[in-house]
């Protein structure tokens, strides 16, 4: 008799837990997932699961909405561009010391 080993990541939050931690309604979280702003995975029963790191993504989305009046589509674009800039800036920093 054998059982498949199932790895259950302890840090993954359910939709309700995630919505509670983000201070937003679960329906809004669901929409953010559909828009590709928040990343989620699916649990064994097909339910949404969230990594804690996505809470920072939600916070940034709220700041961009509140501070610049962006809609969700614009937030998704700005978020992608900011992430790309961060990667480029990190690469640039690494090349500032040419070494030998």
Q: Which residues bind another protein (CB under 8 A)?
A: 23-24, 55-56, 59-60, 62-68, 78, 82, 90, 93-94, 96-97, 99-100
Query: At its nearest, how many Å lie between another protein and the CB of residue 46?
Result: 30
Closest CB to another protein among residues 7, 93: 93
**From residue 67, how far is each of 17, 21, 71, 79 by CA, in Å?**
26, 21, 11, 14
Closest CB to another protein among residues 44, 67: 67
Angle subtended at Cα 87 by Cα 83 and Cα 92, rounded to the nearest 5 degrees: 140
Query: At its nearest, how many Å lie between another protein and the CB of residue 42?
Result: 26
Q: How far is C-alpha 28 from the geometric centre of its chain's CA atoms?
A: 14
């Amino acid at each position: 008799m054998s059982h498949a080993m199932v790895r259950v990541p302890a840090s993954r939050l359910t939709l309700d837990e995630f919505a509670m931690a983000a201070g937003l309604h679960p329906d809004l979280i669901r929409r953010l997932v559909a828009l590709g702003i928040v990343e989620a995975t699916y649990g064994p029963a097909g339910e949404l699961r969230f990594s804690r790191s996505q809470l920072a993504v939600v916070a940034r989305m709220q700041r961009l909405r509140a501070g610049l009046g962006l809609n969700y589509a614009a937030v998704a674009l700005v978020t992608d561009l900011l992430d790309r800039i961060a990667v480029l800036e990190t690469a640039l920093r690494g090349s500032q010391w040419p070494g030998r």
